Amino acid sequence: MPNKKSLLTRFLKWRYKNISNKTFVHIMSLVVGFLAGLVAVTLKNITYFIESLLKMGIIFSENQLYFILPTIGLTFVYLYVKYVQKKPLQHAVSSIIFSLSKKGGLLGVKDIYTPLITAPLTVGFGGSVGLLGPAVKSGSAISSNLSRLFHIDTKTRSLLVACASAGAISSIFQSPIAAIIFAVEVFTLDLTMMSMLPLLLASISGVLTSYFFLGNEVLFKFSLTEGFQLEDTPFYILLGVGTAFASIYFTKMYFAILNFFKRFKSPKYKLLVGGIAIGIMLYAIPPLYGEGFGFINNLLEGNHLKALGTTPFDAYTNNIWVVIALLFGITLFKAIAMTTTFAAGGAGGIFIPTMVMGSALGNVVAKVINNLGFGFSVSESNFTLIGMAGLIAGVIHAPLTSIFLIAEITGGYELFVPLMITASISYLITKNALDYTIYTKELAKIGALLSHNKDQLVLGLLEMDDVIEKNFMPVHPRMSLGEMLHESVSKSKRNIFPVLDDDEKLMGIIVLDDIRQFMFDTELYDTVFVKNLMHAPPEHIFYGKDSMKQVMKKFQDSGAWNLPVIKDGKYEGFISKSKLLTAYRRKLINYSQ
């Protein structure tokens, strides 16, 4: 019986002979779209199964013990990470962007099944996060490993990773157009025919997979009763401003809570503090439990009491302003509960919590307008929907995704104008206030950020290791001029010499022009030393700290042709402007093709 390796080799040979590369990419996009859709369906079913088991044992409306469930779920995740995963969990979308930027789209095998275990344990037990990120991560990992198996080149592998994300999103939301736009906006793909068709095929494959397993079940039960009214335009502008400030709050709160939890060195303390904090929030605000799709649907149906559930404030919910305050509390605390879940060691995504927060804020704005007593009347369900679009546009800087997603999952295409008004205002204000999103802030610090700006994108794709040159002859500060000439200058093909001490730390540099005028004066060979001749380089490049954008700026500002690289405090080599520009041009040509 032939082994697997020989079968694969035979298949690859047959494929190269009989299937063009373009056709194979189209086939692969269908396959990864289906597999990503299957992952999304599996993830949802596992999570709902866990939730149903817990509901059989605990009656939520009568027994308040459910607030301890997130701690139990986080404990299971902690045990899995410690004894099976053996490395910290990473943010799903951010890790994919890093992989596309710095690893050629390579993701590990563990990234396939780890989200299928950790996310359901987190969300099923009440963690206030979403399932979209884990579904995208698992589907992308499948795509990456299939691409490696079939010897697909780096650029095509990156495209197929984006196709997997489109398939997962299309399957979860049954929104194929928004899935394509998400891949373009978040993973910064160029929308050309070369990328458009594979994304389209993957998205179709993903949504068909969802229909096959889940039927025509819609995610949000919504029927449009009131279309866009021109006189409501100022209120949609107001909602856009409100969602922009909420997006800024969401992002800042996310990083503030993560920084707070960094004070706890042990994961056990993070779990304990986070679990208790989430439990307290769930006790006071039950809709924070899990993803929150039920909460959104209840608001769309106009049933705010059912959306709020059983709270300690039930005796006061006959007052509409108490209801508004509670809904606004969900707007504020959803961001806190979500981030606390992450900080405590949970796994999940930010996309669906963003939608929950936006739906609550949109409903609040509508209720305030309707109850101020000025005679205004707006559709609360419409504002609930459009509030979601505003938060998505602001939080992840993806206005087109937000517009098409809300329009597709609700069939509310008649709301396109207010969707565009609110999403664009939210995006513009947030983009001016925050350069980076939750997905991209940490990546920007390490120069791993993808961008629609071609220059920034190509610089982000460059690796410092690829441009460092090490064929420079080092000299020691105590070497005499004669020793330097005989031991280094005569043997070197370069005209610059790093001066290193006994610990290989860079003390300075000597350029051949510095010694050219007296290098043949033998009387100076024993009386002049390297330490007398060396000088500081015009700039230093710090390995692991400077991004390639910063490296390019240092060459531009200093006017130098070669700059030394310092790694962990020691000399590593030089980067030359010529090699950097050559590598930049090659990467640009490769990307453009």
Give 57 or 534, the one with higher predicted confidence. 534
Mean pLDDT on 70-78: 92
Among the listed ranges 221-235, 398-412, 489-503, which one has the minimum average pLDDT value?
A: 221-235
Asked whether the predicted pLDDT for residue 231 surpasses 80, the reply is yes
What's the confidence (pLDDT) of residue 447? 66
Among the listed ranges 125-134, 269-278, 307-316, 553-562, which one has the minimum average pLDDT value?
A: 307-316
What H or E segment, with its residue span, contains residue 119? helix 110-124
pTM for the complete prediction?
0.80
**Percent of the chain with pLDDT strictly greater than 70:** 92
Q: Token pair for residue 293?
A: 């799709």
What's the confidence (pLDDT) of residue 15? 84
Q: Where in the chain is the domain with CATH 1.10.3080.10?
A: 4-214, 230-447
Average pLDDT, the chain: 87
Residue 435 backbone dihedrals phi, psi, to 5 degrees: -70, -30
Using 50, 70 and 90 to split pLDDT, how confident is the model at 316? confident
How many CB atoms sit inside 10 A of residue 303's CB? 11
Among the listed ranges 80-84, 211-215, 333-337, 369-373, which one has the minimum average pLDDT value?
A: 211-215
Mean pLDDT on 217-224: 68
| Fold entry, domain 4-214 | Clc chloride channel (1.10.3080)
Asked whether the predicted pLDDT for residue 38 surpasses 90, the reply is yes
Q: Tell me the per-residue pLDDT of 97-115, one tens digit each, with 9 for 90 and over.
A: 888 887 888 899 999 999 9
Burial class (CB in 10 A: 0-12, 13-18, 19+), 403: buried
Concatenating the DSSP letter of every residue in 477-496 gives TT-BHHHHHHHTGGG-SSSE
Nearest residue to 362 via CA among 339, 337, 340, 393: 393
CA pair distance 430, 424, nearest whole angstrom = 10
Mean pLDDT on 426-435: 94
Sign for the CA dihedral angle at 349, 350, 354, 360 comes to positive
Q: Tell me the per-residue pLDDT of 446-475, one tens digit each, with 9 for 90 and over.
A: 766 665 556 666 666 677 888 899 888 899
What's the confidence (pLDDT) of residue 35? 96
Asked whether the predicted pLDDT for residue 41 surpasses 90, the reply is yes
* Dihedral angle over CA of 190, 191, 195, 197, nearest 10: 180
| Fold entry, domain 456-592 | CBS-domain (3.10.580)
506-511 and 541-542: which strand pairing? Answer: unpaired
Asked whether the predicted pLDDT for residue 575 surpasses 50, the reply is yes
What's the confidence (pLDDT) of residue 258? 93
Q: Where in the chain is the domain with CATH 3.10.580.10?
A: 456-592
CATH number of 230-447: 1.10.3080.10
Asked whether the predicted pLDDT for residue 1 surpasses 50, the reply is no
Amino acid identity at 113: Y
